[in-house]
Amino acid sequence: MQDAEAVALTLRGDPRGPELLLTRYQMDVYNVSLRILRNPADAEDATQDVFLRAFSRLHQYRPTQPFGAWLHGIARNRCLDIIRSRRSLGELGVLDRPPTPAEDVEAAAIAQLTSARVRAALDRLTERERSLLVLRYWEDLSTEAVARSLAMTEGAARVALLRARRSLAAALGGEEVGGDAL
């Protein structure tokens, strides 16, 4: 069943619609929330809020837009609301990815130090810059998907990502930052 069909079922009150959408997108929304908020409990709460908001605003969804991108936009906005309400990025947890089993102790230590530096640099960026970088590199969304998620054109997203990478490089002390470094 396509997303548009599940949305139509949901709007008609058929419980199969929201169940399908939850099953299909719950982990994705949780992962986006976790990457932005960097706290599992906050990400779980945000995920629940995102689906409540999405289902209450489902009549605003345009079937010409991918449902996942629409949901990402809601998730991003909810996470930014949570961050704003804290008024301190220092409360946020970690954004590490666990080392793979193939990495040795030295490589894991270097990765951990690098990760800590990147986290600290990310904390010095604006919310928008950090959101752009998280969606593009941690969530591995295409530039087109990032643009849809943030309600901007693909060209504007490319420029904003370039500026965000430059800001991150400056926050890292001028090191050049490419997609793989993130």
Predicted confidence at residue 182, as pLDDT, reads: 43
Tens digits of per-residue pLDDT, 46-101?
Answer: 999 999 999 999 988 888 888 998 998 899 888 888 877 764 444 444 344 444 44
Q: Which of 139, 150, 121 is nearest to 34 (CA)?
A: 139
Tens digits of per-residue pLDDT, 101-129?
Answer: 444 454 555 555 556 777 778 788 888 88
Predicted confidence at residue 54, as pLDDT, reads: 92
Rounded Cα gap, residues 68 and 48, in angstroms? 16
- Give the amino acid at 71: L
Average pLDDT, the chain: 78
Domains and CATH numbers, the chain: 1-88 (1.10.1740.10), 105-182 (1.10.10.10)
* pLDDT-wise least confident of 6-10, 17-21, 89-93: 89-93
Predicted confidence at residue 111, as pLDDT, reads: 52
For the chain, give the longest Cα–Cα distance: 57
Rounded Cα gap, residues 73 and 69, in angstroms? 6
Predicted confidence at residue 125, as pLDDT, reads: 84
Two tokens at 137? 């590199």
Q: Which residues contact 125 (CB under 8 A, 6 or more apart)?
A: 133, 164, 167, 168, 171
Predicted confidence at residue 119, as pLDDT, reads: 76
